[in-house]
C-alpha cells in the first residue's frame, strides 16, 4: 500500500495538481505557471553554469568565480527540491551531477561554509541514493569544519585558511546554518565530538551574537590565542549596532535547527526571540528591508533574507510547544513565501536578460555586490520555502 501511495505522489501530473491546489488556497495567482517558470529558469541556470561557480547577477546576468565558494552547493539543492515537487527524473540526474562535482572539495580548509556546500548536495544525494561515496564526502567535509573550532574562544572560525593567522579570531552569525552538517555527521559516525563542537559554538553564539532584545550582531572578534573578546561589529549590515536582515534570518533558522538536534530549549527560545524581532520590522508585503534598522520607501528590500526567514519559520512552527505559536509562525512563513512568489519572482518584462530566479536580493550592500539583483542563496532558500509550503499541505492529497 505504501509503495502504491508513493507512486501516486511522484506522478508529475498529480503533483502539479496538488501544488496548484495549495497555492490557490494561499491566494497565489497562476500557481502552475509560476512553478513552471521556476523550473524553466532553474534548468536555464544549470545549463549556463557548466561546472563553474556562480556568485551573483549583474544586470541580470550571472558573474562566475573560478574557484568554489559558499554558493557551490545551492543549485544542486534547488534541483533536488524541484525533483521532489515534480517527480521529474531529469532534475534528479542534474542534482547528482552537482554532488559528483563537489566530492573533491570535501577537504577545503579555508571556509566555515561546508554545510552550505555539502548539505544540499552530497548529504542530500546520500539520503536519497544511499550511495556511500556521498556519505563519506559529507563526513570528510564535517571533519574539515570541526578542525576550525577554537577551544579557547569556544567558536568555529569563519574565514581564513587553517594554520594561518589572517582573520583567525572571527566568528559569524552565518555559521549557525553550517552546524547541521556537524550534527548529521555525529549521527552517522557516532563521533560525539562533532555534536559537542556544534552545540558549544551555538551556546557561544547565543550568548554573544544575540542581543537581549532578540536582535543580532554579524561578527564577533576574539583573540584566538587567549579566547578574550575583542569587539562586536558588522561586515554586511548598515552599522555595528544595527541588525542585518540576512544575519537575523540565519539566526532564526540556525537556532531552530540546533534545537531540533539537541532539544536544548534555550535554542528554541532564542529562535523564537529572533523571529519575533524580525517580524516586528516587516513592511506590508512581509519582505524585509536589507537592514532592520532602516525603513522607508527608498530603502532596498532583501528578498533573500525573507526567503531564509520563511524557511526557518516553517521549521520553527513544527518545533514550538503551543498551537498558538505554531499557527503564528506557519502563517508568517506562508505569507512571506507567497509574497515572494507574487512580487519577487523573475519576470521577462523587467529587462531583456534575467538569469536569476528570486529578484530584489542583496548579497553585499557595502561592497556593491548583487544590490537589487539575484544570487544563489536567495534562489535556494526561496525554492526551499516553496518546497516547505508544498510539504505543509500534504493533507490536500486526500482531497483530490
Distance (Å, whole) CA 180 – CA 189: 14
Distance (Å, whole) CA 392 – CA 330: 9
Tell me how far CA of residue 370 lies from CA of 113, 202, 324, 350, in angstroms: 19, 29, 38, 16
Give me the residues paired with residue 289 across strands.
301
Catalytic-labelled residue, pool 174, 291, 355, 379: 174
What angle is formed at CA 15 by the lines to CA 13 and CA 17, rounded to 5 degrees? 70
The 3-state DSSP composition of the chain as helix, strand, coil percent (nearest 5) reads 60, 10, 30
Give me the residues paired with residue 222 across strands.
229
Secondary structure (3-state) at 230: strand
Catalytic-labelled residue, pool 88, 113, 291, 355: 113
- 170 alpha-carbon distance from chain centroid: 21
Q: Closest Cα partner for 293 from 215, 206, 375? A: 215
Residue 46 among the catalytic residues: no
With b for 16 or more beta-carbon neighbours within 10 A and e for fewer, the 333-366 pattern comes to bbbbbbbbbbebbbeeeeeeebbbbbbbbbbebe
Q: Show which residues are catalytic.
A: 113, 174
Amino acid at each position: 500500500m505504501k509503495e502504491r501511495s508513493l507512486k501516486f505522489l511522484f506522478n508529475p501530473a498529480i503533483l502539479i495538481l496538488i501544488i496548484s491546489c495549495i497555492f490557490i488556497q494561499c491566494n497565489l495567482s497562476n500557481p502552475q505557471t509560476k512553478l513552471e517558470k521556476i523550473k524553466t529558469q532553474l534548468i536555464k541556470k544549470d545549463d549556463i553554469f557548466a561546472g563553474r561557480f556562480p556568485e551573483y547577477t549583474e544586470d541580470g546576468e550571472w558573474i562566475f568565480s573560478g574557484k568554489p565558494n559558499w554558493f557551490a552547493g545551492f543549485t544542486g539543492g534547488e534541483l533536488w527540491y524541484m525533483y521532489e515537487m515534480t517527480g521529474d527524473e531529469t532534475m534528479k540526474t542534474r542534482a547528482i551531477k552537482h554532488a559528483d562535482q563537489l566530492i573533491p572539495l570535501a577537504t577545503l580548509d579555508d571556509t566555515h561554509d561546508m554545510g552550505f556546500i555539502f548539505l544540499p548536495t552530497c548529504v542530500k544525494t546520500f539520503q536519497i541514493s544511499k550511495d556511500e561515496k556521498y556519505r563519506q564526502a559529507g563526513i570528510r567535509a564535517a571533519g574539515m569544519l570541526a578542525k576550525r573550532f577554537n577551544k579557547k574562544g569556544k567558536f568555529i572560525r569563519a574565514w581564513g585558511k587553517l594554520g594561518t593567522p589572517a582573520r583567525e579570531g572571527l566568528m559569524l552569525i552565518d555559521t549557525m546554518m553550517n552546524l547541521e552538517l556537524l550534527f548529521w555527521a555525529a549521527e552517522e559516525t557516532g563521533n560525539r565530538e562533532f555534536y559537542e563542537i556544534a552545540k558549544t559554538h551555538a551556546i557561544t553564539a547565543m550568548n554573544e551574537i544575540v542581543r537581549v532584545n532578540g536582535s543580532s550582531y554579524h561578527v564577533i572578534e576574539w583573540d584566538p590565542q587567549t579566547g578574550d573578546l575583542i569587539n562586536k561589529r558588522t561586515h554586511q549590515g548598515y552599522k555595528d549596532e544595527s541588525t542585518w536582515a540576512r544575519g537575523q534570518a540565519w539566526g532564526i533558522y540556525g537556532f531552530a535547527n540546533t534545537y531540533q538536534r539537541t532539544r536544548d530549549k534555550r535554542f528554541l527560545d532564542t529562535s523564537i526571540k529572533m523571529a519575533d524581532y524580525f517580524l516586528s520590522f516587516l513592511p506590508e508585503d512581509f519582505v524585509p528591508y536589507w537592514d532592520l534598522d532602516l525603513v522607508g520607501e527608498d530603502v532596498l528590500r532583501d528578498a533573500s533574507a525573507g526567503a531564509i526567514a520563511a524557511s526557518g519559520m516553517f521549521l520553527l512552527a513544527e518545533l514550538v510547544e503551543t498551537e498558538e505559536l505554531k499557527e503564528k509562525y506557519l502563517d508568517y512563513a506562508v505569507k512571506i513565501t507567497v509574497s515572494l512568489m507574487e512580487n519577487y519572482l523573475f519576470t521577462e518584462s523587467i529587462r531583456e536578460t534575467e538569469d536569476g530566479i528570486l529578484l530584489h536580493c542583496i548579497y553585499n550592500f557595502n561592497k556593491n555586490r548583487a544590490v537589487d539583483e539575484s544570487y544563489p542563496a536567495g534562489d535556494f532558500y526561496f525554492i526551499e520555502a516553496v518546497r516547505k509550503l508544498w510539504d505543509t499541505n500534504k493533507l490536500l492529497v486526500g482531497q483530490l
